[in-house]
Amino acid sequence: MAVLFQFVLRLAFGLAFAMAVTSPRQVTSGYYRNHLYVTLGLCALAAVVAFADPQQFDYRLALAAAIFSYLGSVCWLYGRNRAGIVFTGLVAAAALVAATLAGPPLSETAVSARVLWWLTPASGGWVLGFTIAAMFLGHWYLNTPTMQMGPLRRLIVLMSLALIVRAVLCGLGLLWTVAAASDAAASETWFLVLRWLTGIVAPLVLAWMAWKTLAIPNTQSATGILYVAVITTFTGELMSQLLSVGAVYPL
């Protein structure tokens, strides 16, 4: 349940953050309204998981993020863009804090491990959020084909930067894990290869392919590529969480 709780909150944080930094002057309000329903469902699921195990999880922040999602969608429905951005940011903040607080106990770990664990929910959320936000936006061009390409290009750039940041953090975690316990790391080699290929390498290649496809321009094909990127990032981040259970450093 801990993996599910963390994953949905990281995804909700990342998606809300990606929407909050996307200009409503260039993207129609329906994009924000519809996809705040997605964060509403994710945060409601996290709250249900927390209700099922109140000794391990605190439901209040997840529930608050769900409420903020609903209020934000109402604001976007009635054209209150500034208030909509504020509530979208509150969704991101509440989901990130909830995911961070639900992390492993760090009182007896080294400072380097603490820093990596503190940065893990945000970095993982950015990878998930920017990727799925870009895919959603690419799909939104089918509804509003007159929108400019700039917002989608920016999300693809942010997705690539998030993947690089994630690679650096997880790379440090892997190096320190190998230095501390090489035998334990070696027993998980194939899972680590899968995690890096699906969660880092493949999405970076797909981001480059989507970027080049937009140069044609062809938003429909770019969206199809981003669909695949969503699958690979989901697989990679879930594998990262499973490998990191009980580990000293996040992998």
* Contacts of 164 by beta carbon, 8 Å cutoff, 6+ apart: 204
Is the Cβ–Cβ distance between 155 and 126 less than 8 Å? Answer: no
pLDDT at 145: 78
What's the pLDDT at 107? 63
Among candidate residues 192, 182, 226, the one with its CA nearest the CA of residue 207? 226
Q: What is the predicted pLDDT for the residue at 106? A: 67
CA–CA separation, 47 and 169 (whole Å): 28
Handedness of CA 213, 163, 184, 181 (dihedral sign): positive
Could you tell me the pTM of the whole model? 0.93
Which residues does 187 contact at the CB level (< 8 Å), separation at least 6?
Answer: none
| Sequential DSSP letters for 90-109 | HHHHHHHHHHHHTS---TTS
23-71 pLDDT per residue, tens: 899 999 999 999 999 999 999 999 999 888 877 888 899 999 999 999 9
* CB-based contacts of 66, cutoff 8 Å, min separation 6: 39, 40, 43, 44, 47
Residue 2 has pLDDT above 90, yes or no: no
Cis previous bond, 217, omega within 30: yes
Q: What is the pLDDT of residues 152-203, one digit of tens each?
A: 999 999 999 999 999 999 999 888 887 776 554 555 778 888 899 999 999 9
Domains of the chain by residue range: 1-103, 107-251
| Per-residue pLDDT reduced to its tens digit, 76-118 | 999 899 999 999 999 999 999 999 988 777 666 778 788 888 9
Residues 107-134: pLDDT tens digits? 667 787 888 889 999 999 999 999 999 9
- Going by C-alpha positions, the residue among 102, 244, 125 that lies closest to residue 174 is 244
Q: What mean pLDDT comes out for the span 200-224?
A: 93
Residue 146 has pLDDT above 90, yes or no: no
pLDDT at 126: 97
- Inform me whether the pLDDT recorded for 135 exceeds 90: yes
d(CA 42, CA 118) in angstroms, rounded, equals: 21
3-state helix, strand, coil in the chain (%, to 5): 80, 0, 20
- Residue 86: both structure tokens together: 């504020």
More confident residue, 225 or 146: 225
- Would you state the pLDDT for residue 122? 95
pLDDT for 18 equals: 97
User: Does the pLDDT at position 246 exceed 60?
Assistant: yes
Residue 127 · residue 16 · CB < 8 Å: no
Q: What is the CA radius of gyration of the chain?
A: 18
